[in-house]
Amino acid sequence: MAFPNKLLGRDERVIRHMHEHIKALTGNFAVGIVVIALVIIALVYLPDSLWPWGALAAGITALVLLVIFVGYPFLQWLTTTYTITDRRVITRAGILTKAGHDIPLSRISNVSYERDFVDRLFGCGTLVLETSAGNPLFLTDVPEVEKVNLELTELLFGNASAAADVDPDD
């Protein structure tokens, strides 16, 4: 889903719009697989004396656990976005209550990134945006963090027209 044009300033262009890397949900997906496996095991070994209420209780418990540990985090991931325009960096998050943070590019004094071993395996990392106020903004699990770092560096300190020519859907 693209960033809404109604939230952009006049002549402002989106350079890149992205979600956190799906890696952020791997633990939740693992929990979901374990819950499904446990409910299958419970249904296979459920004594006949507990049918159908025991099966119903196992199913409802599994459904509640899946909503808590998989569904809700997935909705959080889906509604958390990072957008880079030719004027600012925009973060948005929230399912029912939205929270956002906008940093004008003119306030950013340094752009760097961090990648640990797992981030390198998944091709993502943490983008660190330092402002003149000394209060850095950490964008976690940014896909293709090196490419994003280069685009922001070009926007801030280099050839802005080269960064603006980047296709936001790449």
Domains in the chain: how many in total?
2
For 39-72, the pLDDT digits (tens) are 999 999 999 888 899 999 999 999 999 999 999 9
Task: Give the CA distances from residue 147 to residues 36, 129, 166, 168, in Å, rounded to whole numbers and listed in that order.
Answer: 38, 15, 11, 12
Are 44 and 90 part of one and the same domain?
Answer: no
Are 116 and 47 part of one and the same domain?
Answer: no
What domain range is 43 assigned to? 26-76
Tell me, yes or no, whether 4 lies in a domain. no
Residue with tokens 């027209």: 161
pLDDT at position 50 = 87
For 14-29, the pLDDT digits (tens) are 999 999 999 999 999 9
Are 92 and 71 part of one and the same domain?
Answer: no
Name the domain boundary from 50, 76, 102. Answer: 76
**156: domain CATH number?**
2.30.29.30
Q: What is the pTM of this model?
A: 0.81
Tell me, yes or no, whether 31 lies in a domain. yes
Tell me, yes or no, whether 3 lies in a domain. no
pLDDT at position 56 = 94
Report whether 95 contacts 81 (CB < 8 A). no
Are 32 and 61 part of one and the same domain?
Answer: yes
Tell me, yes or no, whether 2 lies in a domain. no
